[in-house]
Structure 1
Amino acid sequence: MVSRRLPWFLLSLMLAGVAAAEPPRSATLPTTIAEYRAIPREYRLDGVVEAIHRTTVSAQTQGQVEAIHYDVDDYVERGAVLVELRDTEHRARVTQAAADLKSATAKLEQTREEYDRIEGLFAKRNVSESQMDRAAADLKAAQAALESATAQLEQAQEQLSYTEIRAPYSGIVTHRHVELGETASPGTPVMTGLSLDELRVVVEVPQSLIPAVRSGTEIHVDLTDGERLAVSDVTVFPFADMGSNTFTVRLRLPVGTRSLFPGMYVKTGFVTGERRELVVPKAAVVYRSELTAVYVQGDDGRLALRQIRAGRTVDDQILVLAGLEAGERVVLDPLAASRQIKAQTAPATEGHGDD
């Protein structure tokens, strides 16, 4: 007589089979539907950051370099003295010009007194007309001599001021061209610097985009910290490069943009309209080495890891270029989905091991 009670190991195998056939319990995981959305049609182009103010300061008078107050990578305030030239000769010229001015002033006063005296006598007919004319000519000559002496003093003082070479604006020193003891002449480069306060981005734009740029399309620059900076001050060069058929476009950044520096490469975006793209939330995408994927939940509730080809990120959405269809359900918590799949496959693995 055959016992109707099944052996315990057969019963356990049947229960394990039923458990494996049951759909995974993934309904509690947060999911969303992959769908098409209107996404801005954007052309991404590389740009180079430039300083609007970049200057090489040169000597404007002759003199020996006596002091250098700043060097490369130093920050300089506007009007600060960069380099001092020997000013002994220039001070002597100022002193001489001041003495000449003082002499011319005294001469003018004496000539004016003499003119007033001759004018009084001429009114009484006590001097001739020629004497009156001579006095007037002497007065004009004295006035001209005073003006000349004043101009010479101003010129000497200006030449003296040139012995202190000052920064035209606040910025960073990038090159120093002189050493102590050298003799600088007018036009000799002294220091090169640039300002970090006012920057711009230079982009080579294809000619097909130029009409949209000229019409005022939306333009932005992606900063290093992930922030997107809108640009409204745009300059388009009125000619194209013969080799590449591109136009140079300058995008002036707002004053005080601190996360960019001259010479850096940045991404720029030129928005020319909208187009429908398949998107999924950024939180649903998982990256494993070179694999980009999402966890897809089927109609039966089962989970599967699906490789996708992802495009750019727009706000909190990622464009899906391939690997997914509209209407498919993706899991918003990839880590929880991975744990659930491992938990579901663990009993089956253990069962095979015992067999």
Structure 2
Amino acid sequence: MKRAYILLLSIITVIFAVTGCTYTNEKENLTFSGTVEADEVNVNSEIQGKITSIFAKEGDAVKKGDLLVQLDDTSLKLQEALAKAGVEKARAQLDDVLAGSRDESIKAADAGVKQAQAMLSGAEKNVKYYEDLLAKNEELFKDGAIPEQKITDLKEALESARSQYEKAKAGLDQAIAQRDLLLKGSTSNNIKAARAAYSQAEASLDMAREMVEKSRIFSPLDGTVLYSNFKPGEVVFPGSPIMTILDLKNPWINIYIPEKDLKLVKLHQSLDVRYEDKVVKGEIIFISPQGEFTPRNIQAKEERQNVVYKVKVKLPYSDILKPGMEVDVVLPAGEVK
């Protein structure tokens, strides 16, 4: 009997030697529970304006590039038209200077000065408007009648108005300089000034077109509208979060691995993620290099530990897993190597 036992042990040893397999301590799989999460992306306005139309409501699925909100662009399109006329006028002035037509150039330069003066006057009024509005709202803020964000938005709007004022002032200086040069005759300096004015007019047109484009607010990603914070007729300021979109195509879950089990995980490792009787594959995309005390919201089936490491598991896009669902992530405790 003893000889038979020794023979059986020898056969097992030979089998492991031939196959090259080693057996590690095989335990039950470790299971960690957590909540499916997804990134929330705010859709902000880059300019101040009144909302005329909203094309998506809470719960709607949207695609990247879908038009979500339209701001009132009446004044913006008027500025675009004026800027386009300014380009045509500057082009004509440049052509006249190059052709030596001083009289026509001087008339055009005079018109350019008047236009620049009008723009400066409008910009100055805009600055005064926001200065007064900010002063009134600061008093309301002191009384606790409005949130601090309102003051922040108004300060940003005031800075933008002051920037436009400085640009308008520089435009007037340039227009006056061009006219003065034309009065002295079509010299090389006149040509340089005319070309500079033409370039500035083109830049103003580009800026006006950009402002019109910014009045249309598009979805930055595929997702679902989680929150819609404004209604048609309301005014938004730069940075105002008009909507929040949930990125359902890239869900993830954080699990917390005890230090003693950290050796069982590695980047890009595939893990089973279970929800009820369904199983999908997840991928480890982040392992925290620093331990932390066990978060209070951990729901682990294993014994709670004092120090754990956060592990982020990327989940596949599917109709099975939704943000807020409680799922189990299965980590193999041992394997045959």
- Which letter maps to 1:264? M
Q: Give the structure with the larger strand fraction.
A: 1
Structure 1 residue 147: Cα displacement: 1.8
Larger RCO (CA within 8 A; separation ≥ 6)? 2
Kept in 2, the 8 Å contact 1:217–1:270? The answer is no
Residues 191-206 of structure 1 aligned to structure 2 (within 5 Å): 191-206=243-258
Q: Which residue is 1:253 aligned to?
A: 315
In 2, distance between residues paired with 1:147 and 1:240? Answer: 58
Q: Which residue is 1:169 aligned to?
A: 221
Rate the CA distance shift 1:216–1:79 in 2: closer, same or farther, 3 A: closer
In 2, distance between residues paired with 1:217 and 1:273? Answer: 14
In 1, distance between residues paired with 2:323 and 2:292? Answer: 23
In 1, distance between residues paired with 2:267 and 2:75? Answer: 60
In 2, distance between residues paired with 1:220 and 1:41? Answer: 14
Q: Which residue is 1:33 aligned to?
A: none
Q: Which residue is 1:265 aligned to?
A: 326
Extract unaligned runs of 5+ from structure 2.
1-24, 102-184, 296-306
Kept in 2, the 8 Å contact 1:220–1:270? The answer is yes
Extract unaligned runs of 5+ from structure 1.
1-37, 116-132, 276-355
- Which letter maps to 2:233? G
- Which letter maps to 1:47? G
Q: Give the structure with the larger helix fraction.
A: 2
Rate the CA distance shift 1:196–1:87 in 2: closer, same or farther, 3 A: same
Kept in 2, the 8 Å contact 1:199–1:257? The answer is no
Aligned mate of 1:142, from 194, 206, 211: 194
Structure 1 residue 253: Cα displacement: 2.2
Structure 1 residue 207: Cα displacement: 2.3
In 2, distance between residues paired with 1:114 and 1:209? Answer: 84
Q: Which residue is 1:58 aligned to?
A: 44
Q: Which residue is 2:285 aligned to?
A: 234
Q: Which residue is 1:43 aligned to?
A: 30
In 1, distance between residues paired with 2:329 and 2:189? Answer: 72
Structure 1 residue 160: Cα displacement: 1.0
- Which letter maps to 1:55? V
Task: Report sequence identity in percent.
Answer: 27
Aligned mate of 2:259, from 193, 207, 212: 207
Q: Tell me whether 1:220 sits opposite 2:295 in the alignment.
A: no
Structure 1 residue 43: Cα displacement: 1.2
Aligned mate of 1:84, from 53, 64, 70: 70
Q: Which residue is 1:73 aligned to?
A: 59
Kept in 1, the 8 Å contact 2:90–2:197? The answer is yes
Task: Write out per-residue CA displacement over residues 73-97 of structure 1, whole angstroms, 9 at most, x where no aligned residue.
Answer: 1111221111111111111111111
In 1, distance between residues paired with 2:224 and 2:230? Answer: 17
In 2, distance between residues paired with 1:223 and 1:262? Answer: 12
Count of residues paired in the alignment: 219
In 2, distance between residues paired with 1:215 and 1:198? Answer: 17
- Which letter maps to 1:44? T
Aligned mate of 1:110, from 67, 79, 96: 96
Find the residue that maps to 1:221 and give its secondary structure: strand
TM-score by length of 2: 0.59
Task: Write out per-residue CA displacement over residues 32-87 of structure 1, whole angstroms, 9 at most, x where no aligned residue.
Answer: xxxxxx966421001221224x2111111111111122111111122111111111
Structure 1 residue 237: Cα displacement: 2.3
Task: Write out per-residue CA displacement over residues 155-186 of structure 1, whole angstroms, 9 at most, x where no aligned residue.
Answer: 11111112111111121111111122111111
In 1, distance between residues paired with 2:97 and 2:276? Answer: 74
Find the residue that maps to 1:65 and give its secondary structure: strand
Kept in 2, the 8 Å contact 1:114–1:135? The answer is no
Kept in 1, the 8 Å contact 2:30–2:330? The answer is yes
Kept in 1, the 8 Å contact 2:87–2:198? The answer is yes
In 1, distance between residues paired with 2:233 and 2:269? Answer: 56
